[in-house]
């Protein structure tokens, strides 16, 4: 068995897509059926689908799930997040990581990986 892709349900799919593409650097690879969008980063695929519920977890450590991304330049990512108006969360204990939420309230952690 292997992981195929991750599906994210979005209240505002356009805003979520713009965040993942413009801020996090994903590539849009396909729009399927006019209402779902495939995104790719390296060899990972995410499928954005219409949805209604917004995540409501107050902090990263209170969340029941999170996405974790490895990045080459954490300071650059922090600048892109701040320029996009994304509020950073409290670190989960590790000084070399960022926590933040996407437009649908999903918690994400970014770790600089060498």
Q: Is the pLDDT of residue 114 over 70?
A: no
In the chain, domain spans:
6-112
Rounded to two decimals, the pTM is: 0.88
Average pLDDT for 80-102: 88
Secondary-structure class of domain 6-112 per CATH: alpha beta
Per-residue pLDDT of 10-69, as tens digits, reads 999 999 999 999 999 999 999 999 889 999 999 899 999 999 877 677 888 888 889 999
Q: How wide is the angle at C-alpha 76 spanned by C-alphas 112 and 29, nearest 5°? A: 85
pLDDT of residue 86: 94
Distance of alpha carbon 41 from its chain centroid, rounded?
Answer: 11
pLDDT of residue 98: 92
Structure tokens at 46: 């995410």
What distance in Å separates the CA atoms of residue 103 and residue 105, rounded to the nearest whole number? 6
């Amino acid at each position: 068995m292997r992981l195929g892709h991750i599906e994210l349900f979005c209240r505002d799919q356009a805003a979520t897509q713009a965040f993942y593409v413009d801020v996090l650097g994903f590539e849009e690879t396909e729009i399927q059926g006019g209402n779902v969008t495939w995104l790719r980063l390296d060899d990972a695929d995410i499928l954005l689908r219409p949805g209604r519920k917004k995540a409501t977890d107050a902090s990263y450590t209170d969340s029941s799930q999170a996405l974790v991304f490895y990045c080459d330049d954490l300071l650059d990512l922090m600048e892109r997040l701040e320029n996009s108006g994304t509020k950073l969360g409290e670190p989960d204990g590790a000084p070399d990581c960022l926590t933040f939420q996407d437009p649908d309230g999903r918690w994400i952690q970014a770790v600089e990986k060498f």
